[in-house]
Chains A and B, each alone.
Chain A
């Protein structure tokens, strides 16, 4: 009845499974998880080689959401037009993607942006870290089977989205940060709204911890599951919460400061293996929870120091960088997002290459999943927190 990849005509040798490198054993079967599976966080397809409930190997298949981002960039008539496309990579944290790109372009054009712009950008980037982590945490609860925290996270996320919407008119894809400035200045009530949000949000993190993070069943499901030791994480090139969850203190906001991040005091949370081994799913999850607290700290500091000024004064009339290349990396909610931009001296980019953190973090998935159970694959995948828009670009 079962049709597997090994079903062949009698007398022929069983076919080798591509990606596994050998035929299936008698007790194994291949099961296709995705691209329409509810827990693959988009259109990721995982080919699971399973022995009962035990996962022998995982073969990820990507590309269902490929939109030729890099090729599109080469055909833009100017550099400004890339920004809406950058939004569409990691669409749950679009501000962070824009941020990396405009920082890279300003470095290339040697533009000094006004102080006010820097501060607003940092606030927006940290807001996008909060909304991205809220989605990551909420959907992670969903993956583990807890439905309610997801809606609580969505509720808190609404408050951030309202502030962003009032600032730039969009809730998901903003096109807000322009090369040399911003598309709109913030509203006069911005500072008050942001401070109100910060006082509102801190108790909500505690509520989330009570409901989900320290729930016995949740800990049982995530601690000691999908352990990624620090050295393995570095070898895979992992970054962001996946790397920090493994106990490696690496955050570009501290290690390679860009914009004005060196002016704020904040901690870098790392996984400590409080409930299991260092680098398990619970550590990665908890790093995100603590990062939301730290982002709230940064936002509070930034909004208190917000200087006056014109946010569009440094926007260049025409953008025509000299022939050359630049590589700038920034810390997005998912990890190190790198932009490699090559200019040939014309108004349109010659080549833009992106180093997407999700894609590289995802490459560590098979190593974490081997020997786990099917339910663990869902937990591990959720703890990596991928966005397929960025994996496939």
Chain B
């Protein structure tokens, strides 16, 4: 799982012995008490790591736990089990002071550009907040905010304006600027482009790619759209109901998916070429994956078994372990 077979030329860096981020056996449960303990976990023993400068994509349907994993890494969600290690330090349950120390290296870009900036603060004051918190002077912080705005393609005088004076795409650029203003090493992008129109989405994706190449950033890129992930990520982790179904190099997972769920996910993503899309549709229908509306499977076994065309009795009793198939790791007894 740590091998990166396909890397963009300029994103390739000397392989570091220590991963930037390492998530081990992560478990997150919502709620408290006996009832919550009996319910399936929102995130169920998830493992993955991100090397410095690497982009890992986290894909899955809504409710697959992908955003929850991002929140757990950022300290916004309590973790029920497992560990999250950042540069060798355990940050699973970091307190406010450790978070503050971490806050300049580990940052986030969220989905909704309308709510990720405080509408009552000027853009400059939102950008300066993380710097001021770390003791940067007001004039210096303003200078850096202006520089960063210029870098993301906005005018310098945007510092004195309010978020409502910008379009959705521009606001998302401001969010990116805010995430990158204190030179982080890892940015968690939680559906960072899914609220944007095509052309704006492309602008922000390009910006994220440029900044990564410029600064050697690592990204955890969380998205439901596998094509978007494929553009940016070197490795992809596919989640279903809180469990990893498949993970591996982006090209392998998206072009040659092994797990029945990944196959369904890839086949369902429509392409804007009518003839090819018709073929894909037929391929998807021939997969025989059942609709997701079926009842929630009981805990234990494979979470996908009720929809899976390959499922047998074994799938109901034994949770498939991740095993290497081709270039990827796949959690399926029959892949």
Are A and B bound to each other?
no
Binding site for A on B (CB under 8 A): none
Binding site for B on A (CB under 8 A): none
